[in-house]
Structure 1
Amino acid sequence: MSISSRFAVGVHILTLIEFNKDGVSSSEYLAESVNTNPALIRKIIGMLKKAELVDVHPGIAGANLAKKLSEITLLDVYKAVNVVPENELFSVHENPNPKCLVGRNIQETIIPILSIAQIAMEKVLGSVTIEDIFEDIVEKEKQK
């Protein structure tokens, strides 16, 4: 099981917009960096816009950050692009066989564990900002 790649692409988009803040961050430009098609970028930008993380204006090419880098956490990005109900990382299969000892007990057994795991993940994502990502990339480039 993995989180959709939309999450990493969303982080990529927001970080690249900051690096290109004096230029035009069009979907074509962003798609070239992500190495994907512009239609996917536009879809993810739409999700980021709905979450008020980017500003886009009809008829004007490019996207801009709607908040300061330090105000956008990875949890914000995760919630913006994760399309499962209530941003649940884990889902549990429905209707296990009640005649089976595992089937009748599995949900009550694993749901609390999965909830704790999701809370831990969200705590980590909430403690990292796009500014942290930006600065880490700058440092990595200096070392090359």
Structure 2
Amino acid sequence: MSANSRLTVAAHALTWIGLYQRRGHEVATSEQIATSVNTNPVVIRRLLAELRKAGLVESQRGAGAGWRLTRDLASLTLLDVYRAIEPGPVFALHRAVPDPECVVGQGIGPALSAVYDGVEAALRRELAGTTLEDVLRDVLKAA
């Protein structure tokens, strides 16, 4: 199973837009963002569409088309981004009900649910404590 990079790509795109706006540009194009992320602009447009639905970005059509943040980087947390693109839980239980006659099948759901709930709470706490301003600061420090 491969790791999911959607949160990373979304944080990258939003941080890039924030820096671009800070440098005096009104909107950023999907092509510009895709160049930084090193992906196809279609991937960026699809991801930004999800972020738009969550109210984190807005798009402008026509002449001067592009994307802009709806809030500043200091007020956007990684949890905001995560909620916008990953609405479900980190881990899920079986899609089908395990064998109720099996001792493991009977107890696996409750046993793992407690662990998964704790992991989910820790993840959300950690993401809530990091703003995209923090990310940009660390990016610029490393550059």
Partner SS state of residue 103, structure 1: helix
Is the contact made by 1:3 and 1:89 (CA closer than 8 Å) also made in structure 2?
A: no
Measure, in 1, the Cα distance between the counterparts of 2:19 and 2:7: 19
Gapped regions of structure 1 (runs ≥ 5) = none
1:90 corresponding residue in structure 2: 91
Partner SS state of residue 65, structure 2: strand
Greater Cα shift, 39-48 or 50-59: 50-59
Counterpart residue type for residue 35 of structure 1: N
Measure, in 1, the Cα distance between the counterparts of 2:74 and 2:34: 24
Q: CA deviation at 1:3?
A: 5.9
Is the contact made by 2:78 and 2:132 (CA closer than 8 Å) also made in structure 1?
A: yes
Counterpart residue type for residue 18 of structure 1: G
Of the three residues 46, 51, 56, the one matched with 1:43 is: 46
Gapped regions of structure 2 (runs ≥ 5) = none
- TM-score after normalising by structure 2: 0.90
Counterpart residue type for residue 8 of structure 1: T
Is the contact made by 2:15 and 2:132 (CA closer than 8 Å) also made in structure 1?
A: yes
Partner SS state of residue 106, structure 2: coil
Counterpart residue type for residue 61 of structure 2: P
Counterpart residue type for residue 130 of structure 2: V
Q: Which runs of 4+ in 1 moved over 3 A?
A: none
Total equivalences in the alignment: 138
Correspondences of 1:1-144 after superposition (within 5 Å): 4-21=4-21, 22-23=24-25, 24-59=27-62, 60-83=64-87, 87-93=88-94, 94-141=96-143
Is the contact made by 2:18 and 2:72 (CA closer than 8 Å) also made in structure 1?
A: no
Kindly provide the CA deviation profile for residues 8-64 of structure 1, in whole angstroms up to 9, marking residues without a partner as x. 111000110122112341001111111111111000111111111112122242211
Measure, in 2, the Cα distance between the counterparts of 1:78 and 1:18: 17
Measure, in 1, the Cα distance between the counterparts of 2:49 and 2:4: 16
The percentage of aligned residue pairs carrying the same residue is 38
Partner SS state of residue 104, structure 1: helix
Q: Decide whether aligned partners of structure 1 residues 30 and 36 sit closer, same or farther in structure 2, where only a CA change above 3 A counts.
A: same
